[in-house]
């Protein structure tokens, strides 16, 4: 018998102020703060508008705070310092992929990522953003109100990543024979190990030779969750991270890819931050060994 249940009823749905959707808003707040820092690494002119339009139950900062003895301010400073670093790193990944001739881009769990609008894309670039329906709807409403236009052929794919997202991607025009630049940023810890495995297999199978894949590997997020200041912030915002994050053992993504013939460059996030001139003691203390920025290439 045909299954006529809508996707909305098969998987938990969230909007930008609930569940894992709210984490996308927190990341946008981090990008807004970084944009306004004196030593900013990125310029995301829309990040602040998302926070304002979402009107979250608890206010999120969009400007740098001044950490004194307040561990929550310090934690926000650390988070925005990290968001700026990772955003800049993946911006550079896409610029390099474009220079190497890649014209097909897939941003999985795109959230409030505005690279389609912010970055210079080579002529002919098609960029797919995959996320849940309500997330994309909110994002498009804000971007429309801001008069923001994509600087590439942007196509949104409204599907759950636990569902048959490759079919939805292909229905939107994805070409598995063309080299692709993939991004999974702020995603893997929100997937249980078996879902990570399925996602990685699906990407590998659809990656033509010459494809590249940038991964945020935030392996030990469990340590961060144990930090009292981080827990207080999460509780204040209304995100129960312990309910959203899967801390189960899972394969190391870079090793998994090397086993399948990809080459990998693994950067320690705090070293990347330092290379950008960002010298945050808190960033170094809190994130040491917890975050790796991986760029993989399929020969």
Shortest Cβ 187–ligand SAM spacing (Å): 5
Query: Cβ closer to ligand SAM: 1 or 151?
Result: 151
Among 129, 160, 204, 217, binds ligand SAM (CB under 6 A): 160
Select the span of 51-59, 149-157, 179-187, 226-234 touching ligand SAM (CB under 6 A): 179-187
Among 49, 132, 156, 291, binds ligand SAM (CB under 6 A): 132
Strands lying side by side in the sheet with 180-184:
153-158, 126-131, 104-108, 180-184, 212-217, 292-297, 263-268
Task: Report the C-alpha gap between 234 and 215 in whole angstroms.
Answer: 24
Minimal CB distance to ligand SAM: which residue?
111
Residue 34 touches ligand SAM, criterion: CB under 6 A: no
Residue 78 touches ligand SAM, criterion: CB under 6 A: no
Residue 161 touches ligand SAM, criterion: CB under 6 A: yes
Shortest Cβ 110–ligand SAM spacing (Å): 6
Footprint (CB under 6 A) of ligand SAM, residues 196-215: none
Residue 135 touches ligand SAM, criterion: CB under 6 A: yes
Query: Cβ closer to ligand SAM: 26 or 279?
Result: 26
Residue 283 touches ligand SAM, criterion: CB under 6 A: no
The token pair at 264 is 């990998």
Among 36, 151, 158, 162, binds ligand SAM (CB under 6 A): 162
Residue 81 touches ligand SAM, criterion: CB under 6 A: no
Residue 109 touches ligand SAM, criterion: CB under 6 A: yes
Burial code of 43-65, b = ≥16 C-beta within 10 A, e = fewer? ebebbbbbbebbebeeebbbebe
Residue 187 touches ligand SAM, criterion: CB under 6 A: yes
Residue 152 touches ligand SAM, criterion: CB under 6 A: no
Question: How many residues bind to ligand SAM according to rule CB under 6 A?
Answer: 20
Half-sphere exposure of 67 (CA within 13 A, CB side): 16
Task: Report the C-alpha gap between 163 and 171 in whole angstroms.
Answer: 14
Residue 20 touches ligand SAM, criterion: CB under 6 A: yes
Would you tell me which residues interact with ligand SAM (CB under 6 A)?
20-21, 23-24, 27, 109-113, 131-132, 135, 160-162, 185-187, 190
């Amino acid at each position: 018998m045909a299954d006529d249940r809508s996707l909305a009823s098969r998987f938990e749905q969230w909007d930008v102020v609930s569940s894992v959707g709210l984490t996308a808003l927190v990341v946008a707040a981090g990008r807004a703060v970084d944009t306004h820092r004196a030593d900013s690494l990125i310029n995301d002119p829309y990040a602040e508008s998302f926070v304002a339009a979402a009107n979250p139950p608890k206010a999120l900062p969009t400007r740098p705070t001044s950490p004194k003895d307040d561990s929550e301010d310090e934690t926000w400073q650390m988070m925005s310092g990290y968001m700026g670093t990772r955003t800049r790193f993946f911006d550079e990944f896409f610029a390099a992929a474009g220079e190497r001739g890649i014209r097909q881009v897939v941003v999985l769990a795109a959230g409030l990522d505005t690279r389609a609008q912010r970055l210079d894309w080579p002529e002919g670039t098609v960029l797919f953003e995959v996320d849940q329906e309500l997330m994309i709807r909110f994002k498009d409403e804000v971007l429309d109100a801001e008069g923001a236009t994509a600087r590439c052929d942007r196509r949104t794919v409204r599907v759950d990543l636990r569902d048959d997202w490759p079919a939805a991607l292909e229905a939107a025009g994805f070409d598995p024979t063309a080299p692709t630049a993939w991004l999974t940023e702020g995603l893997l810890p929100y997937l249980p190990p078996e879902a990570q495995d399925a996602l990685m297999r699906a990407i590998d199978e659809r990656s033509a030779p010459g494809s590249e894949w940038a991964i945020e590997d935030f392996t030990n997020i469990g340590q961060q969750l144990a930090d009292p200041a981080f827990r207080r912030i999460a509780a204040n915002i209304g995100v129960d991270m312990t309910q959203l994050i899967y801390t189960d053992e899972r394969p190391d993504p870079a090793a998994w890819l090397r086993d399948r013939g990809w080459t990998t460059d693994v950067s320690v996030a705090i070293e990347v931050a330092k290379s950008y001139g960002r010298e945050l003691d808190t960033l170094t203390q809190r994130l040491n060994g917890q975050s790796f920025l991986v760029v993989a290439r399929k020969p």
